[in-house]
Structure formats: C-alpha cells, structure tokens
Structure 1
Amino acid sequence: MASKGKGVHVGGTSCGTKKQGKLNERGLILNKSERERYKMLLNRDIVPNRYPDSATLQALGIDDNVTTLISNIGWKDFVGETHFTFETSTFEFLSTVNFNHDTHNTTHPNHTVSFSLGNVEYNMSLTEFSDIMGFESTGVIHVSRNHDVRHRGYDKHGFWFQITGRKRYECKTAKASMIQNSVFRYLHRVMACTIFGRPETATVRSDELFLLWAMVHKCPVNTGYYLLDHLTYVAEQPKGKIVAGGGGGGGGGGGGRKRN
C-alpha cells in the first residue's frame, strides 16, 4: 500500500495501536481470522499496477483529453505517478482490512475502515482514509446494487448508448472494445488497472461506467469508497491474481515495481 496524503498519523482514532503477539515468517502479527485470510492470500500472485504512459498518450493525440477528464474527479495526482508494490505490506493490509458500510444512514453515512500496517492497527472513518490517500472525501457515492445510493442524474443505459451506440448496458456482456471513443477506452483501462485493479480488463463494470459518466459531467466522486470496496472484495477471494499494493496507474504503460 502507498499513501498520497499526510501519512497515517492524522490524529483521532487513526493514530493506530501497536499490536501484540507472535510474529509470523514475514514478521506480521495476525489474529486467527487474519491468519486464515493470510494463508489464502499467499497462494495468489501479486501483479504490479500498470500506469499511463505520457509518450503513448501524446502519440495518440489524447493526452490533454485524458488529463482533463481524470482531473474532473480528482485523479490527476493519483494516476500520474508510479509507486512500488510492497509485497509484505500488501499481504498484511489485505489480511486485516475490514470496510464497514453504514447502510442505515443513506443521507450522511458514517463508513469506517480498519486495517493493519507495520503491525499497527488503524481504525478510521472513510473521510480520514480518503484524506490520507489524497482523495476528495465529499464526492458522490453511487452504488449500482443499492437503489437508495444511486445518483439521480445518472442513466447507465443512456450513457452506454452515447459511448457505444448500444441500447442497453448489461454488466456481464459489456466489453470495453464496444466503446467507440479512444479516450474513454483508455480511461476505462486506467480504472481497471488502478482503482479496480484486476488482470482481466476486457469488461466494463457498473462502477467503472458510472465513473466515466462522472468524468464527463464533472461530478466529484468519493474515490476512497470505491477503492476500499474493491480491495475488501479482492481480499476475500479464494483465488485469482492480486492487482493491488502500490497505487500506480493503468492502461498502456509500464508496470509498477514489486518489492518484498
């Protein structure tokens, strides 16, 4: 993991508590449930993030457009730099992360997250986490699977038609190759290699489609929510490659470097 903001010690509950216990072979202190998740994660390969390549963007003539749209939702700094992927820290974070969604308060939810890094346990609000990562924390949260947490101005079928010419968006069959504009195709690849990092980038997931819409309409989003939601999903999977760790960029560039 890599932070972009003030560092982990930001005051309040996020100062962290030093964990006590026996060190494992990587020097990590984990409780029983964390050890079970850790063992499962060890069987999965970590793939370094990919990041945008300025020379490629300039050669394609889309550098300014990509930069503008990414900036519309506050991602310019996040995807504009490359970072190391620290293997042990990634295993520790994914073994211990818990993202608690406040489903009882849709107007002013108090989402919280807990995780460990360097054998220090942190408990903080989504706002604090976003501040540490250098993300805006007041933006929109659109949850496709929850009718109560959807942006009223967004029409997935209408926007999908605008960028593909196809009338209905279906998550399972929506291919990135259907997107007609090269800028949007590139931006989708950026998301699929960073915020929603995964080895397979051919499909357009529902959150990715919404974020493309948000870029076009200059609609600020709560990036920390999407990042944590994805990372907790990755952490719970029994198999598959892990595209996480250093917060590099995505789409057509080189890969972030990996360290133990």
Structure 2
Amino acid sequence: MGRCATNVKKMTTPSISSSIVAPSFKGKKTASRTRASTRRTPSSSSATKTKEKVVINYYDINFRDDNHRSKYETLFKRGVTSTRFCDIDALRALHIEEDVRWLFANVGWNNFLMQKYPTYKRVTLDFLSSLRAVTHSGEGCGEGSIIFQLYNEEHTWTLTKFNEVLGLPNGGPRLTSKCWSADPIWRILTDDSEYDSNNSPGNHIRHPTLRYVQRLLACTVFGRQEGSKARKDELFMLDRMLHAQPIDTSAFLIKQMRDLANKSTTSGAIVLGGLITPFSLYLGHRERLEKEESIEGIDALDIPACALMNWIVKKDGTTLWCIKDNEDVLPPADTMSLRVEENWSFGKARPLARVSTPHATLDPPHTSEARPSTPIETKLNYLLTSVGDIKIEQKEIKEQLSSMSTFLGTLSNWIQSGGFLNPPCFSP
C-alpha cells in the first residue's frame, strides 16, 4: 500500500446548486496581454518549406516555474478543439435515448455528458499545464490530492470534490484492474472471438447504444480525438454500466488529464476542454468566461458524425444501420432495449420486421397531401446526401492521384533514360 497524501489545502467556494449551469451565451473576444515565443526550423534544402512561426499567447497567466511554462507551451502548440457531448437529436433518431440514459443512471451519471459545455482555450491550457495530481487506487489509501490553477488562483481538491462538482457519485474502482479481461464483454458486443487492443474497431460493436457510448467515452473521459479502436478502459466502463456497478469516474478522468499534461508531443488537438468549463463556473468565473471567445466547432456526437464514420448509410430513401458488412433498418426501441440482456449482442435485430426510422424519407400518402418533413428530417436527408457526395469526390480524387502517380513513375524512367524513350503523355 502506497503512502497517502494528507496535505490538502482548504478553499472557499460558492455553493454547487447555484453555480454549475452551462453558459447560454456566446463568448466575446477580449484583448489580453500576449508575449510571443517563436521558433524557426531551418530548411535543409531550397525545396524544404520553412515552418511558420509559432506565436504563443500566454494571456496573463502567472507560471509557478519553468516546468509549468514549458508544459503550457507544449499544450498550446497542440491546439484545443470542442469537446463532443451527447446529441439528443441523434439519440432519438437512432432510437437509443432511453437506453443511453439507463446506462448513465446505472453508474450515477444522470446529466453528465448530456449537457453541453462550451470549450475555452485559456482555461483548458491554464488547468492542464498547472495540474499536479497524486491519486491512489488501493482501498483504504485515501484520495490523494489534485492541484490546479485557474485565473492565477491555485486550488487543491480531492477526488470526492471533483465528483461533487461534476455531479458524480463516489465509490467504485478508480482504475481498470490488470486482472480484468475484456474478452467476455467483447464477444457479447461484437461476436468476435477475442479482444485485441491493436485491432478491435469500435464499429464492430453491434448495438447502436453501446457503439455510441463507447465513442462518446473516447471523446470525453478518455480524451481521444481518434476513437475508432475500442480501448480496454472504455469496455471496462461499458461493462460496469451494463451491470449497474459503481465506478469512480473522476479517477479515470484525472488520470487522462494528468497523462495529457505530461506528454511532450505537440501533435493531436486537446479534446476534453469542455469538461474543464464546469470547474471554472463552480469557482465563480462566469463573467470572465463571458468575455472570452469559446472554441468553434462540432460540440456533439451528432448524426453527420455517425454518417462520416459509416455507422449509417442512406439507400433508396431509407436510413440503414451498418453492422460490419450488413445493413438494416433499426428496429423499434422497445425491441432492442438493453434492459434485456439478450439484446446486448444485437444479434436478433436483423430478422425483425423492417420499420421506418423517424428520420427516413417516407412515401407520400395516396389519399391526402404529403406530410411536410420536420426540420430534423430535412437536415438529416441533406447531410446524408452531402456525405454521399463527399465520398464520391474522395473516390475520384484517389483515382486521379493513382493516375498521376503512374505518370510520375513513367516520367522518372524517361528522365533516367536520357530522353531515348518516347516522352510520356499525361491525360488530366
């Protein structure tokens, strides 16, 4: 059993009930003191392009030491993108809203990840660059301490405090056990023989609810911009949700934040800034956030995102759900409820009678005037059509690149021959 941290700084904060409310405003631009740090990469030849200057905005942050400043600069170069939360329209269109809420309720999440928070660059970088966390996974070893800075004020919290601010319960595992095997749950969810951490795509998960929640976990708690592969930690959380077993969510979140803050890479945008916004609101910084500009971008795992990931496809005016190489219309919500354990594998979905999804294009009635499409249906049909057009354009571009590659190879051979061969001809 490791040592337990005991020195926890006390702080005075506003009450939770009056402060954790997602902003309904649009952030405004504000002037801030900027100190520029630039770096040039020398060109090795005239054909090598010189990298653009990296201008770092330090705002008015007071750094505790050089290590703090260095972490900030590394994180700044990575960039910050909007956090993707649940999209209610997508949940309803896929018939999975009730099941998602049931999974969340099983671990005491309630509205966690259901409510969208804007992402702010300054507070994201301020929090992560200053984060120092010592947490303990063993029972009876205490919670440790989590130290961070926001708007030049340092705070020391415990895991209990973190869960309290995010509206999450305490208790349950703080890490995925090394003895826990993902094979049993993976076989149920995908019908694959065994789980392979290097080659287990999330889109092998058959049930729409479980596939959606796995990707949502990757985008939020586990802070991954690319979540195509299902990770063991994500499957562990899904397993706990399905069996209504407690889990200490903040411990997983803090571990991810700490690992992110200590990485030296400057690639891959930071995607979990939206989960830092509630801390700023709790500490009474709403007015400061109102003066800042939130990150623009997609802030939810919506229907267009599902289409781009090839989860759904539109054929003959009907939207189909894709399971590996199979496609079918989703059955009614009550026939695929996760409350029935037999439905977890989603193996009995295909033989069910086909029914139209709420967002599918319907044939007009013969005896009356056609029902006008709802805004959601109209938007969905437009987006799915656009996605189809994009895929066609991507295919054409690949063919053009292949043709160009062949031409360049022929041209290279002609140059090496000294011009003795007939000059190649490229057809655009």
Shorter-chain TM-score range: 0.7 to 0.9
Does 235-244 or 206-215 show the bigger shift?
Answer: 235-244
**Residue of structure 1 equivalent to 2:270:** 242
d(CA) in 2 for partners of 1:64 and 1:14? 40
CA contact (8 A) 2:83 2:220 kept: yes
Q: CA deviation at 1:15?
A: 0.9
Pairing of 1:4-15 with structure 2 (within 5 A): 13-15=9-11
Bigger relative contact order, structure 1 or 2 (CA pairs below 8 A, ≥6 apart): 1
CA contact (8 A) 1:100 1:113 kept: yes
Q: CA deviation at 1:254?
A: 9.0
**Residue of structure 2 equivalent to 1:189:** 215
d(CA) in 2 for partners of 1:163 and 1:49? 26
Change (3 A) 1:26 1:254: farther
Aligned pair partner of 2:165 in 132, 142, 162: 132
d(CA) in 2 for partners of 1:76 and 1:14? 28
Change (3 A) 1:251 1:75: farther
Is residue 174 of structure 1 aligned with residue 208 of structure 2? no
Is residue 44 of structure 1 aligned with residue 40 of structure 2? no
CA contact (8 A) 1:116 1:122 kept: yes
Q: CA deviation at 1:139?
A: 2.4
Q: How many aligned residue pairs are there?
A: 229
Letter in 1 for 2:11: C
Q: Secondary structure at the match of 1:13?
A: coil
Q: CA deviation at 1:132?
A: 2.1
**Residue of structure 1 equivalent to 2:230:** 204
d(CA) in 2 for partners of 1:76 and 1:250? 17
Aligned pair partner of 1:71 in 93, 97, 105: 105
Letter in 2 for 1:227: L
Q: CA deviation at 1:57?
A: 1.3
- Segments of 5+ residues of structure 1 without an aligned counterpart are 1-11, 17-22, 148-153, 256-260
Aligned pair partner of 2:59 in 15, 26, 45: 26
Q: CA deviation at 1:164?
A: 1.0
Letter in 2 for 1:58: R
Aligned pair partner of 2:141 in 109, 112, 118: 109
d(CA) in 1 for partners of 2:135 and 2:193? 33
Q: CA deviation at 1:174?
A: 1.5
Q: Secondary structure at the match of 2:102?
A: helix
d(CA) in 1 for partners of 2:273 and 2:254? 12
Q: CA deviation at 1:70?
A: 1.6
Q: CA deviation at 1:90?
A: 0.6
Letter in 1 for 2:233: D
Aligned pair partner of 1:80 in 114, 118, 131: 114
Is residue 251 of structure 1 aligned with residue 301 of structure 2? yes
Q: Secondary structure at the match of 1:187?
A: helix
Q: Secondary structure at the match of 1:235?
A: helix
**Residue of structure 1 equivalent to 2:88:** 54
CA contact (8 A) 2:135 2:251 kept: no
Does 133-142 or 46-55 show the bigger shift?
Answer: 133-142
d(CA) in 1 for partners of 2:249 and 2:304? 23
Q: Secondary structure at the match of 2:155?
A: strand
- Normalising by structure 1, we get a TM-score of 0.81
Query: Once the two structures are superposed, what CA deviation does each residue of 1:44-77 show, in whole Å capped at 9, x if it has no partner?
Result: 1101011222122112111111111122112231
- Normalising by structure 2, we get a TM-score of 0.50
d(CA) in 1 for partners of 2:301 and 2:108? 18
Change (3 A) 1:45 1:213: same
d(CA) in 2 for partners of 1:254 and 1:52? 13
Is residue 121 of structure 1 aligned with residue 154 of structure 2? yes
Q: Secondary structure at the match of 1:79?
A: coil
d(CA) in 1 for partners of 2:209 and 2:163? 27
d(CA) in 2 for partners of 1:130 and 1:14? 17
CA contact (8 A) 2:83 2:300 kept: yes
Q: Secondary structure at the match of 2:241?
A: helix
Q: Secondary structure at the match of 2:105?
A: helix
